[in-house]
Structures are given as structure tokens and as C-alpha cells.
Amino acid sequence: MKIVKKIWLVGLAVLLVSLMSFSPAMAVKEGGTLNLHINKTPDSLWPLTATCRRATYLFELTYNYLVGFNDANEIVPQLAESWDVSDDGLTYTFHLRKGVKFHDGYPFTAKDVEFTYTLLANKKAASLFFGKVEPVKGAKAYYDGEANKVDGIQVVDDYTIKFVLEKPNAAFLSNLMFPIVPEHIFGKIPVDQLATSPESQKLIGTGPFKLVKYVTDQYYEFECFDDYWQGKPHIEKIYVKIAKADVAIAMLEKGEIDYIPEFPPSELDYVKSLPNLKILTQTNTTWPWAWCFNLKRSYFKDKRVRQAIAYALDRQGFVDSVLRGYGTVVNFPNTNARWAWPDPSEINQYPYNPEKAKTLLKEAGWDPDRVIEILYYPGNKERDQFATIGQQMLKNVGIKADVVCMDVARAVEKFHKGNFDILQTGASAQPDPDYQSLYFESSKVIPAGDNITSYANKRVDELFKKGRKTFDPAERAKIYKEINKILNDELPWIIICEPMHVSVVNKRVHGMHFNPNIIAFRDPARLLDIHKWWLE
């Protein structure tokens, strides 16, 4: 009931604590070298095709987006200094910042914005982000090769650009978080060769740091960009080191790494014993962990069965023991958009209650001899543990289950064929709640979309459609609140919890400010204000 409030409180506390710990009494120092960790070499550094989340860290060092988010989750200027939206909600006019330079000294203009977003709509570019520009007028025609430009993207002058949409889309602005790449470099390269061109791996952007060196599978070396539009960064040099997580912890202790942005909570006890380190958390993640039911299975059709399973799982216990408390139990597919959250009193919290689970199962006529399968793919050390923990809890209420672990490729193939009972997975949340339609709109049922559970509810479909057309914040909020209430009751997914985002950093690093919400064009958003960081 009070969960949501609790989240708020924790978030606030973290904010306050972080503000206090970076007390302005200390004088900012210039220079020094920061060592960052990622656990895998990103497959590519080309923003359009890079699939690896770790690439986002490098993008945050080197690129800027048109817009950003503040702590209150509002959209704020970045490369776009301001924007106007037409009354019909169809035309967005962006006024771009002047004096912004790319790493090679070239000025940033509307041409670059036009180029970047046109590229996203170019089929030949094999961009993974066509979805971001799809609402723009003519994007689809361009994508299909029926037009030679995107009609809706219109450069007015060097510092003004217009986006005209096909139909109103409330989520459009937040979709604009995408690295702006320089036209003067990439415009010369044939589109289908862009992703594999050596230039595409050089991270030439407008961001606070520039890439100077990459040593295969070892590290990336960055230098501060003197002409950065938000001012020259305090830190002189950054090494992004690639190492396995276990080893990274050793390197952290040795001082070879200053900052591990993604830290496994189960290792935190050890870190707490080390005086030179501090733990940072972001309360709200974009990555809830869930059990998804295959609703095509006759025995999951009765929602009482799903509800029984929710009661059977001691999720808070899991958060406390395995996640060391660094997580929050939630009861609807969450998003960062707090405004879309229903009031806690309106939703069922499914507290741990095996007796109630048993009763519900009996009512629903659950066959105690049935053996179901919990499918998961190794993804996160802590999350993976839940499969067996959950199996045990199900046993306690009389549900027999097997745990099946497969690598991602095999698991995806299996669940795309609808050949599963329960899939344990992590889902990515986007800033705008509309993203939930990916998983719950009936037109997105696998394999066509990502509606893994094959959930279909006419009312929910209607609401999603309405939500995209509604601009009045209060109206919109009502719509998504209703969706979440329905999902909370019907439980196509049981959200296990939302793990807090845990980073560990050496105390010599100062000036870090964490947006309590993680919002970016892709997950991380840990380095967005790195130009303000400084080293002792």
C-alpha cells in the first residue's frame, strides 16, 4: 500500500545524502585520470547498430542528445536549447544551441540533427531505432524506399529544425534521446557501409570526452574535450577498462578501477569492508524482473492461478536476503513515469501468503500432479537465483515446477515459439509509459511483437491507443493508471522486484550526481554529467 511512497522516500533520502556527501566545501580540482569499468567489449560503437548496453557508457562520454531529463523526470534542454510544439501537437520546432563543436572542431548545426534522424529511418542503415522516428511524417515512406527524404524532418536554418508528426504522439519527445552524429563525416560514407566503416567506431560527437585510443579488449582511452559546450571537464583522462566482474572487484580494491557502474549487490558486503569505496544507488531502475506466464496454456488461463502464484512468492524475502535490501517489490509493470502510477490503495500488493495461495489454487482446481517449467536464461547473478528460490516456494503451496536454464539464443527461440510455461526475465522500461504496449497490446503478441505472454484485453488495447493520442497530462495519467490497475489484477506478469541500481565508486571521485531515475536512450545514464566530476 505504502510501497510507492516508500520508494519516494528512499529516493529522496538518497538524493539528500548524495548532496550532503558532495559538500561544496571541498575545492574542485582539475586534472587526473578516472578508471571506469565495463565487463565486456561492446560489439560496436556505432549508435545505430550497437546492441550492447555497455556501449551506452561510451556514448554518454562522447555524444549528446537533443534533450535530457532532470531529477523530476521532466524533459530538459541539451543540444536543443528550447522547443515549441504546435497546438495540434503535430509540429515540434527545436532551437539549437549555438557554439557547440564536434571533437574535430566542426560546428554542430541543424544539418547534423536532420542527418541523424533521417539515418534512423533509413532501411539501409540497418538502424535498430527506427521506432524513434516512426511517428514522423514520411518516415515510413522513406523507410520503404518510396520517398528520398523524410518529409517531416525540415531544417529551417542552421540552428532551427522542425519535426512534423503523422499524428499526435505524446511519447515522441522522450524518444529524441539519441546520440547526434556529425553529418560532415558520415554523410560522405555510403549508408550501407556506415556501420562497418572505421569512422563509425571513433565516437566523434559533441560530448565531454573524446576517444583517443582503443586497445583490443583491454581499454578505451579518452581525453577531455577542451571545447565542450558545458565547459571543459575537470577530469583530464578516462580509461574505460574491460574486465570480468569478479576481477573488476579486485581491481577496484587495488585502485586500478575507480568506478564500477553495475555492481552485483551480493558482493556488497565485501565492498562495505573497504574504506576507500562508497556505494551509490539509483532507486528507480528501468529493469524490473518478472515471471511471465504463457497465457496460451490452459492451466494459466484462470487468473486465480496467477494470483495464487503471486501470493506464494516471498518476494520481499528475496529482496532482503539476496539483494541485501537493494530492491523494491512492485506489483505492476513499472515505469519511470511516476505520474502513471496508480494509487497504492487501489492495487493488490500480493503480500506473501501461502495459505491464501493454496485456497486460490483449490478454487481454481489446480491439478497438483501437473509439473510446470520455469525457463530462464543467465543474465544477472541475483536474478538467476530466483528461479530455484521460486521453485521451492511453489512447492510449498503444492505446485510442482522444474527449472530450465538455457542460453539467451536458445531461450529466445523457445519462447518465441510459445513453448514455455513461465519465463523469468528482465524487461526494459522506457521513460514514457506507452512502452508497456510492447508487452501487453494484443497486436504485439509473439512472434510479431514482444507480447511474450500472449496477453489480450480489449480494454487495455483501447487504453493504449487512447494514451498515444492524449496530451493532457492529467488525462494521460488516468489512462495509464487504469492500465496498471488491470495488469495488477490480471497478472500476466508477476513483477518479482525492481532491483535498485548499485554502483561502487572510489571516494576520490567527487561531484557525481545521480538522477534517481535512469533514463537515457538506453539504460545506463550514469555518466550524463561527467563533465562535473572531479578527482581528489
Partner 1 sequence: MGAYIIRRLLIGLVVLFFVTVILFILMNLMPGDPITAYIPPEVLAQAGPEYIEIRREQLGLNKPVVVRYFIWLNELVHGNMGYSVQNGEPVLSRIKERIGATFELTGTALLLAIIIGIPIGIISAVKQYSIVDSLVTLFSFTGVSIPVFFLGLGLIYVFSLRLNLLPTGGLATIGAPPSLLDKLSHLIMPAFVLSVANLAQFARYTRSSILDELGQDYVRTARAKGVKELRVLFYHILRNGMIPLITVIALQIPLLFGGAVITEQVFSWPGMGRLALEAIMQRDYPLLMGITTVIAILVLIANLLADILYAVVDPRIRYQ
Minimum separation from the CB atom of position 258 to partner 1 (A): 13
- Judged by CB under 8 A, does residue 218 bind partner 1? yes
- Judged by CB under 8 A, does residue 186 bind partner 1? no
Minimum separation from the CB atom of position 375 to partner 1 (A): 13
Binders of partner 1: how many residues, by CB under 8 A?
Answer: 54
Q: Which of residues 413-432 bind partner 1 (CB under 8 A)?
A: 413-414, 416, 427-428
- Judged by CB under 8 A, does residue 123 bind partner 1? yes
- Judged by CB under 8 A, does residue 409 bind partner 1? yes
- Judged by CB under 8 A, does residue 132 bind partner 1? yes
| Cα–Cα distance measured from residue 175 to residue 341, given in angstroms and rounded to the nearest whole number | 20
| Cα–Cα distance measured from residue 125 to residue 178, given in angstroms and rounded to the nearest whole number | 15
> Judged by CB under 8 A, which of 1, 12, 19, 43 binds partner 1?
43
| Cα–Cα distance measured from residue 530 to residue 69, given in angstroms and rounded to the nearest whole number | 15
Minimum separation from the CB atom of position 395 to partner 1 (A): 29
- Judged by CB under 8 A, does residue 478 bind partner 1? no
CB-nearer residue toward partner 1: 148 or 216: 216
- Judged by CB under 8 A, does residue 195 bind partner 1? yes
Q: Which residue has the cell 562522447?
A: 62
> Judged by CB under 8 A, which of 78, 127, 294, 517 binds partner 1?
127
Instruction: Give the residue ranges of DSSP H helices in 134-226.
Output: 139-143, 172-175, 183-186
> CA nearest 241: which of 224, 225, 223, 260?
260
Instruction: Give the residue ranges of DSSP H helices in 203-353.
Output: 245-254, 268-272, 303-312, 315-321
> Judged by CB under 8 A, which of 115, 159, 219, 222 binds partner 1?
219
| Cα–Cα distance measured from residue 279 to residue 152, given in angstroms and rounded to the nearest whole number | 46
- Judged by CB under 8 A, does residue 210 bind partner 1? no
- Judged by CB under 8 A, does residue 146 bind partner 1? no
CB-nearer residue toward partner 1: 253 or 320: 253
Q: Is the Cβ–Cβ distance between 531 and 332 less than 8 Å?
A: no
> Judged by CB under 8 A, which of 6, 10, 18, 41 binds partner 1?
41
Q: Which of residues 220-239 bind partner 1 (CB under 8 A)?
A: 221, 239
Render the burial of 13-51: b for 16+ CB within 10 Å, e for the rest: ebbeebeeebeeeeeeeeebebbbbbbebbebbbbbbbe
The vertex-77 CA angle with 23 and 36, nearest 5°, equals: 50
| Cα–Cα distance measured from residue 356 to residue 353, given in angstroms and rounded to the nearest whole number | 5
| Cα–Cα distance measured from residue 473 to residue 83, given in angstroms and rounded to the nearest whole number | 18
CB-nearer residue toward partner 1: 170 or 394: 170
- Based on its alpha-carbon atoms, the radius of gyration of the chain, rounded to whole angstroms, reads 24
Interacting residues toward partner 1 by CB under 8 A: 33, 40-41, 43-44, 46, 49, 51, 53, 123, 126-132, 134, 143, 195-196, 215-219, 221, 239, 241-244, 246-247, 250-251, 253-254, 256, 407-410, 412-414, 416, 427-428, 438, 448-450, 522
